[in-house]
A and B are shown apart, each in its own frame.
Chain A
Amino acid sequence: MAFWLSKSRSISSLLGKRIGLLTILHERNKGSFLHSRRDAVFRYKNSPEFSTKSATFSATGRRFKSSKTGEQVELPSSDEDDDENQAVDFPGGRVAFTSRMNFTSESSGKRIPCFRVLDDNGYPIAGSIFEQVNKEIAVRMYSGMVTLQIMDTILYETQRQGRISFYLTSTGEEAINLASAAALSPDDVVLPQYREPGVLLWRGFTLQEFANQCFGNEADYGKGRQMPIHYGSQKHNYFTVSSPIATQLPQAAGVAYSLKMDKKDACVVTYMGDGGTSEGDFHAALNFAAVTEVPVIFICRNNGWAISTPITEQFRSDGVVVRGQAYGIRSIRVDGNDALAVYNSVRTARQTAINEQRPILIEALTYRVGHHSTSDDSTKYRAVDEIEHWKTAQNPVARFRKWVQGNGWWTDEYESEFRSNIRKQLMEAIQLAARKEKPPIANLFTDVYEENAPNLVEQERSLGETIKKHPQDYPSDVPL
């Protein structure tokens, strides 16, 4: 403060006579910068705060006073009038003035701290306050995380073998997946991006159902129309995944509005990655959610990479959490690799969202251990060491396991038994899924509209004739 004042003293002496404008004033001294100088100059003298200021400051003040020419102190200087002149009701609300031209810094200097409950070794941090999860939930969360790991390993391999056309993993983000899901109720509506199958897993989607979608067979609820991992389940309140990034965000705000209108005891939870927050839809979604005051939780999985684009090339803010305030949204940054921290923050967010009918933004910091997808080789753009580090030292599954085992709720024996069990189940599900036929060809034409359309009736007929003429052109596993 002192330094700034001394510097400004020299500036002001330069300017003082020329411009006659005041650049240094105590903030409490009101009078808009645009109002007459004399208001600004002299008010501070009467301000109670002034008297508590340092001598340096008052010296400056007096200096100004003495350098002033012209107009003198004909001021309405009563305190009530002071208040009146200190703010104006602009559209959007009352705004207080300052004569100090202060650009708000591009960064607050200190990064928003990250909420965590368990340390790297799975021990609760001393003094941390959090809602405990009971054994049943904890074991269910942990086993879900392990199941997700196994699903990812095996289905990724299945794509490499050419048996399914595509896959993407959630490796490294198992805690976000399962812990956030565990904190929700089944009535909460989920709009995923595409790296949240663990949420669907928690809600009861079976390994068979996952495999069916990946193989696009007749049991796929999506009727074979979309690429693998584009899961969706109405009965589980999990909207069908679509490839385009961030389109689910403004949709989530809309869904939340319908919950609000129907006065449901439920909220919407929608997910995105760090890259998704650069899309225009992110901006639209948060803004709409704030203005319409809807119960939606935006969970950003900030995993460091948007395919090959690292955070430094994605944005320059302090991550994603700071953006919430820009929209008037309450936000928190949480350790995405700490299952308990994620659980707690989503629980609280949910209560707030529903009770107060307002949106919440959660930034879960984590790391994308796997490649972006089976169409990507991330060693092309990031160091193998970096990947290894997060895979091992910062593994969310291992970390939670330590806590669960520490409570005596899990053992190494359960672990190997459980893993081998799931592996077996999944392999069977895959065999079964691969053997099933694809959905019948009629499904190519249904659901474009709710009812059938003349052009589609005609095209279906014409296709039927073509198939009869040239059966060799068509795959044999699609029933006609």
Chain B
Amino acid sequence: MADGSLRKIGRFCLIFCKQKKNRTEGGCVCTATKIGRRGSGGGRERGFSTTTATTEEKRSPQQQHSQGNDNKKSSNINLFTAINQALQIALDTDPRAYVFGEDVSFGGVFRCTTGLADQFGKNRVFNTPLCEQGIVGFGIGLAAMIVNEAAKFRYRSGNQFNCGGLTIRAPYGAVGHGGHYHSQSPEAFFCHVPGIKVVVPRSPQQAKGLLLSCIRDPNPVVFFEPKWLYRLAVEEVPENDYMLPLSQAEVIREGADITLVGWGAQLAIMEQACVDAEKDGISCELIDLKTLIPWDKDTVVASVRKTGRLLISHEAPITGGFGAEISASIVERCFLRLEAPVTRVCGLDTPFPLVFEPFYLPTKNKILDAIKSTVNY
């Protein structure tokens, strides 16, 4: 069944929180992992650039629905530490939250669960046997998987039951040397499943707030964490409990000539392309989609109405990638406004290769070339 291929995609983590207000609700964060990769760091640096500064300036009032970042303490931390903080807060604020999965107990192969077992005890933070379907099934009370069970739980029961407290964390994306199974971006598979939400953070500060929102959201959520950023992305992250809204895209760089849409680690690459394009007099607007389903069409539509051009970029293979959905939706809504075809700069339609990784990925220059040809259409 479909699950067989989906579950082999990589490690994932579930978080389980039984929220008191809804006794039928449960959420679980568990971690399922395969071969963990914390490589020697070979491969190019994926610097995390100016997104942070831009974010803070551009954040709209709605986004500060995180309780006052203003005078709270913050620290300079990386992605896995930010995620660790979010999990710690979730466990701390909800006594019926659990974190379980593969190798969670000693801290996790990406270090996201460090210290949690010691702090919250073995009953709440624990290893499971090596079986992803078992982990998800355990988490939603059925011997089941994300597509056929978690997504349909509420719907098929006429809302008598739901597994809304379920959050599944999964590392994804290129990491420089992951090859077929440790570089994949499988988000498109999950975006095709009504009933679950798919969220992808671009940075540590975003990850913490989004993860807490996912955990507390009353729907099953799949949270993809860009592997590349676990150690390499470092920024100031507030130490307090805060949440960032789901299904709200964010304009992280304002521009007038072309709209770029992306998510996760790819945004850093896209931003570099925007900076280079600016030198050639092209003003780019960059949007972080954050939640892939249900996605914030309005923000993208408003931007394309302004610029008349759209470029989407993702690491996942181009055919059937989520960019195709965005493109189709925007063409439907903005056809007469568009000055050029919507363009997509994505991974190739092959299994993710090891030595050919630099050729496979949607690089800054591929994006820059596409920006120029779109603007000059």
Q: Which residues of A are interface residues toward B (Cβ below 8 A)?
A: 159-160, 162, 165-166, 194, 216, 224-227, 230, 242-245, 247, 275-276, 278-280, 306-309, 313-315, 372-376, 380-381, 438-439, 441, 443-445, 448, 453, 455-456, 459, 463, 466-467, 469-470, 473-475, 478
Q: Is B181 part of the contact surface with A, judged by Cβ < 8 Å?
A: yes
**Which residues from chain B contact A160 at a C-beta distance below 8 Å?**
40
B359–A441 touching, CB < 8 Å: yes
- Does B118 interact with chain A (Cβ within 8 Å)? no
Which residue of chain B lies nearest to A466 when distances are taken between CB atoms in the complex? Answer: B366
A242/B365 in contact, CB under 8 A: no
B294 within 8 A of A: no
From B107, B351, B355, give the contact of A438 (CB < 8 A): B355
Docked CA distance A313–B130 (Å) = 9
Say if the beta carbon of B2 comes within 8 Å of chain A. no
Which of A162, A308, A459 is in CB contact (< 8 Å) with B127?
A: A308
If A225-B355, A245-B34, A313-B126 touch, whether A459 touches B179 (CB-CB below 8 Å) is: no
CA A244 – CA B356 in complex, angstroms?
21
Closest to A382 in B: B106
B290 neighbours in A (Cβ, 8 Å)? none
B359 with A280: CB separation less than 8 A: no
Determine if B102 and A307 form an interchain contact, defined as CB atoms under 8 angstroms apart.
yes
A279-B131, A308-B106, A308-B127 known; A225 and B365 CB under 8 Å? Answer: no
Contact B356 A227, beta carbon cutoff 8 Å: no
**Chain A contacts for B40, CB-based, 8 A:** 159-160, 162, 165, 374
Known: A159-B40, A308-B103, A375-B109. 15 other contacts (CB 8 A): A165-B43, A165-B354, A225-B354, A226-B354, A242-B180, A275-B130, A279-B130, A280-B134, A306-B130, A309-B105, A376-B36, A459-B349, A466-B366, A466-B369, A470-B365
User: When the two chains form their complex, are residues A227 and B178 in contact, meaning their CB atoms are under 8 A apart?
Assistant: yes
B76 at the interface (CB under 8 A from A): no
Interface pairs (11), CB distance under 8 Å: A225-B180, A225-B354, A245-B130, A275-B130, A278-B129, A308-B105, A453-B349, A455-B319, A473-B358, A475-B358, A478-B359
**Cβ of B363 under 8 Å from chain A:** yes
Q: A160-B40, A309-B130, A463-B348 are in contact. Are A224 and B355 (CB under 8 A)?
A: yes
Contact B130 A276 (CB under 8 A): yes
| Residues 1-15 of B at the A interface (beta carbon under 8 Å) | 8
Complex alpha-carbon distance, A279 and B134, angstroms: 8
Contact indicator A473/B354 (Cβ below 8 Å) = no
Give the chain A neighbours of B33 by CB distance below 8 A: 307
Q: Which residue of B lies closest to A313 (CB)?
A: B127
Do B109 and A307 touch (CB < 8 A)?
yes
Tell me the smallest distance from the CB of A304 to a CB of chain B, in Å.
14
Whole-angstrom distance between the alpha carbons of A445 and B353 in the complex?
10
Q: Identify A244's interface contact among B105, B129, B181, B358, CB under 8 A.
A: B181
Query: B369 near A478 (CB under 8 angstroms)?
Result: no
Whether the pair A165, B359 counts as a contact (CB closer than 8 A) is no
Top 10 A-B pairs, shortest CB-CB distance: A278-B129, A165-B177, A224-B355, A381-B106, A275-B130, A227-B179, A243-B181, A244-B8, A444-B356, A470-B365
B38 within 8 A of partner (CB) = yes
Shortest A377–chain B CB gap in Å is: 9
B359 with A242: CB separation less than 8 A: no
A438 nearest CB neighbor, chain B only: B355
Q: Is B53 an interface residue (CB 8 A)?
A: no
Selected contact of B35 from candidates A280, A373, A443, CB within 8 Å: A373
